């Protein structure tokens, strides 16, 4: 089975109280545990203990976690990581609260990723027996779960190859300079399941270790607009949208948390399949790929990272 | 009340209490390259040529280093002037006037009725 999905995103925030107002009151995530300068949160439709970790001090991404199906998958990934030539370190149960033992890997891009096979089971807010459509008392946007993360890389090709070779991700979409230079990835969208992406990478100078955004999953255009309305009420800075991506066909708003980390609400998009051909985007059409309706690239989307 | 002079122009904008540099600029019809507005992305770097600023929220050192602060560089979205200041927006900051009507209004309002008409009637404040 290998990697099931993106499990958690651990981000740094400058002000925990402001971050709580955003991730709890605006996004509607639920605080599960607070230890020292870290807060662990989950969405209402997630079953495991947490999917977002906030750590006070700095900005950007501290690490990203991927859940695998079974303990043996850790061994396979460890072996493949060594063959690939990246630094790994075993982690023990409890290194991260409520997370099993696993493996910590330093990507070619410098990002830290962790793979684990178990998290404390908490259950969703609607349960598993005759579940309601959603909890009656959602807060703010009421995002059900995280969707994906986009990381910055000085060199997308190498880190993309890591995810394909070691994690057995498949390539859903890809941005290249032009059709005569198909070997060069300027950006890539990679999936392990049926989402358009679990992880994406974008190329830029001094982008290693950086976060472009983490995304929350919503359903449908009307929930995207509703999210935008709540962002307006809560004075959340907007980067782009509401609009629809050409890439993945997801509906979207990009916005910033109180520390300047970009977030996205992402809805729908097509069902990705392992045997679906990779969609190619050429650089001259990137504006339509990112923003299919407006078709003009803004001055911040590819340059503001934390 | 403090004044924000835009280096290389005749324009001085009056800052309201606790107003960040970008808040004053946008209120007065200007725009510049900003993204997160929360002191995290660092795109709104400007240079404080003269005067003092403070911050309306913590700006972490990974975004604005102590060396940069020493050199007078600040983040316009988080900096609040505490004295009259002169600021230089670097070329990549792309300071421009996007709503001349509001620039005219802000300048007229701050110079008193009629008194500022001559200045506001000119085009000195238009940064293309």
Residues A61-69 have a mean pLDDT of: 98
CB–CB contacts below 8 A, A to B: 64
What is the rounded distance in angstroms from the CA atom of residue A187 to the CA atom of residue A278? 13
CA neighbor of B75 nearest in space, from B67, B64, B66: B64
Q: Which residues contact A205 (CB under 8 A, 6 or more apart)?
A: A154
What is the rounded distance in angstroms from the CA atom of residue A187 to the CA atom of residue A200? 7
Q: Tell whether B126 is covered by a domain.
A: no
pLDDT value of position B117: 42
Provide the b/e sequence for B12-21 (b: ≥16 CB within 10 Å). bbbbeeebbb
A256 touches chain B (CB under 8 A): yes
Name the domain boundary from A76, A100, A116: A116
pLDDT above 60 for A77:
yes
Domain count along chain B: 1
pLDDT above 90 for B100:
yes
Q: Quick check: A58 and B62 CB within 8 A? A: yes
Show which residues on chain B lie within 8 Å of chain A, measured between beta carbons.
Answer: 33-41, 43, 57-60, 62-63, 94
A254 is catalytic: yes
Say if residue A273 is in the same domain as residue A158.
Answer: yes
Q: Tell whether A137 is covered by a domain.
A: no
Decide: A115 and A102 in contact? Cβ < 8 Å. yes
pLDDT value of position B124: 67
Residues A181-190 have a mean pLDDT of: 96
Q: Tell whether A152 is covered by a domain.
A: yes
pLDDT in tens, A116-137: 999 999 999 999 999 999 999 9
Indicate the average pLDDT of chain A: 97
Q: Quick check: A300 and B35 CB within 8 A? A: yes
Domain count along chain A: 2
CATH number at residue B82: 3.10.20.30
Label residue A62 by pLDDT band (50, 70, 90).
Answer: very high
Q: Tell whether A55 is covered by a domain.
A: yes
**Mind giving me the DSSP string for B5-34?**
EETTSS-EEEEPTT--HHHHHHHTTEE---
pLDDT in tens, A227-280: 999 999 999 999 999 999 999 999 999 999 999 999 999 999 999 999 999 999
What is the rounded distance in angstroms from the CA atom of residue A224 to the CA atom of residue A193? 23
What values do phi and psi take at A153, rounded to 5? -145, 140
Please state the separation of Cα A183 from the chain's center in Å. Answer: 25
Say if residue A237 is in the same domain as residue A107.
Answer: no
Q: Which residues contact A158 (CB under 8 A, 6 or more apart)?
A: A108, A109
pLDDT above 90 for B97:
yes
CATH number at residue A211: 3.10.180.10
Mapping DSSP to helix (H, G, I), strand (E, B) and coil, where does residue A267 land? strand
Range of the domain at A168: 145-290
Residues A210-229 have a mean pLDDT of: 98
Label residue B116 by pLDDT band (50, 70, 90).
Answer: very low
pLDDT value of position B1: 78
Nearest by CB to B40, from A59, A299, A303: name it: A59
pLDDT in tens, B36-56: 999 999 999 999 999 999 999
Say if residue A98 is in the same domain as residue A205.
Answer: no
A291 touches chain B (CB under 8 A): no
Q: Quick check: A14 and B58 CB within 8 A? A: yes
Mapping DSSP to helix (H, G, I), strand (E, B) and coil, where does residue A230 land? helix
A259 touches chain B (CB under 8 A): yes
Say if residue A254 is in the same domain as residue A161.
Answer: yes
Say if residue A156 is in the same domain as residue A212.
Answer: yes
Label residue A3 by pLDDT band (50, 70, 90).
Answer: very high
Name the domain boundary from A116, A132, A157: A116
Decide: A74 and A88 in contact? Cβ < 8 Å. no
Decide: A34 and A17 in contact? Cβ < 8 Å. no
A110 touches chain B (CB under 8 A): no
Prediction pTM value: 0.94
Q: Are β-strands A279-282 and A87-91 bridged in parallel, bridged antiparallel, or unpaired?
A: unpaired
Residues A174-198 have a mean pLDDT of: 96
Say if residue A112 is in the same domain as residue A151.
Answer: no
pLDDT in tens, A87-118: 999 999 999 999 999 999 999 999 999 999 99
The CA-CA-CA angle for residues A201, A112, A248, to 5°, reads 25
pLDDT value of position B128: 60
pLDDT above 50 for A50:
yes
ipTM of the complex: 0.88
Decide: A150 and A247 in contact? Cβ < 8 Å. no
Q: Are β-strands A187-191 and A199-203 bridged in parallel, bridged antiparallel, or unpaired?
A: antiparallel
What does each C-alpha distance from B79 to A14, B9, B43, B124 come to in angstroms? 16, 21, 13, 25
Mapping DSSP to helix (H, G, I), strand (E, B) and coil, where does residue B86 land? strand
Q: In what order do the strands lie in the sheet with A87-91?
A: A30-35, A38-42, A52-56, A3-13, A60-68, A112-116, A102-106, A87-91
A197 is catalytic: yes
Label residue B111 by pLDDT band (50, 70, 90).
Answer: confident
Range of the domain at B54: 2-121
A89: part of which helix (H) or strand (E)?
strand A87-91
Mapping DSSP to helix (H, G, I), strand (E, B) and coil, where does residue B58 land? coil
Label residue B110 by pLDDT band (50, 70, 90).
Answer: confident
Angular region, A242: left φ>0, alpha ψ -120 to 50, beta rest: beta
Say if residue A103 is in the same domain as residue A235.
Answer: no
pLDDT above 70 for B114:
no
Q: Are β-strands A60-68 and B73-75 bridged in parallel, bridged antiparallel, or unpaired?
A: unpaired
Name chain B contacts of A26, Cβ cutoff 8 Å: none
Say if residue A152 is in the same domain as residue A105.
Answer: no
Q: What is the dihedral of CA B77, B79, B84, B85, to 10 degrees?
A: -70
pLDDT value of position B113: 52
pLDDT above 50 for B120:
no
Residues B70-95 have a mean pLDDT of: 97
């Amino acid at each position: 089975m290998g990697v099931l999905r993106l499990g958690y995103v651990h981000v740094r925030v400058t002000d925990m109280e402001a971050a709580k107002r955003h991730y709890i009151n605006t996004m509607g995530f639920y605080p599960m545990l607070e230890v020292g300068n870290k807060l662990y949160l989950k969405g209402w439709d997630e079953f495991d203990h947490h999917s977002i970790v906030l750590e006070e001090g700095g900005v950007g991404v501290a690490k990203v976690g991927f859940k695998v199906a079974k303990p043996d998958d850790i061994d396979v990934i460890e072996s493949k990581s060594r063959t690939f030539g990246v630094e790994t370190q075993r982690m023990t149960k409890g290194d991260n609260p409520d997370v099993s033992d696993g493996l910590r890997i330093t990507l070619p891009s410098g990002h830290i990723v962790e793979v684990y096979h178990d998290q404390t089971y908490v259950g969703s807010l609607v349960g598993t027996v005759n579940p309601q459509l959603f909890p009656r008392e959602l807060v703010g946007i009421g995002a059900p779960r995280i969707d994906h993360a986009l990381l910055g890389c000085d060199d997308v090709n190498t880190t993309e190859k890591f995810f394909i070779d070691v994690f057995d991700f498949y390539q859903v979409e890809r941005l290249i300079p032009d059709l005569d230079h198909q070997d060069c990835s300027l950006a890539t969208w990679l999936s392990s399941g049926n989402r358009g992406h679990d992880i994406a990478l974008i190329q830029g100078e001094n982008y290693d270790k950086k976060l472009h955004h983490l995304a929350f999953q919503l359903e449908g255009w009307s929930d995207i607009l509703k999210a935008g309305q709540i962002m307006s009420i809560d004075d959340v800075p907007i980067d782009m949208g509401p609009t629809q991506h050409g890439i993945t066909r997801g509906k979207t708003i990009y916005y910033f948390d109180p520390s300047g980390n970009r977030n996205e609400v992402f809805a729908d998009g097509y069902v990705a399949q392992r045997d679906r051909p990779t969609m190619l985007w050429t650089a001259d059409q990137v504006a339509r790929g990112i923003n299919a309706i407006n078709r003009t690239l803004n001055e911040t989307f590819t340059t503001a990272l934390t | 009340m403090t004044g924000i002079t835009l280096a290389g122009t005749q324009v001085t904008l009056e800052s309201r209490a606790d107003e960040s540099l970008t808040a004053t600029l946008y209120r007065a019809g200007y725009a510049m390259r900003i993204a997160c507005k929360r002191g995290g992305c660092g795109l709104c770097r400007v240079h404080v040529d003269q005067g003092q600023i403070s911050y309306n929220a913590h700006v972490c050192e990974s975004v604005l280093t102590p060396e940069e602060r020493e050199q007078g560089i600040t983040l316009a979205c988080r900096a609040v002037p505490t004295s009259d200041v002169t600021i230089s927006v670097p070329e990549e900051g792309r300071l421009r006037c996007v709503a001349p009507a509001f620039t005219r209004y802000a300048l007229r309002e701050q110079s008193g009725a009629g008194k500022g008409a001559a200045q506001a009637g000119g085009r000195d404040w238009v940064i293309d």
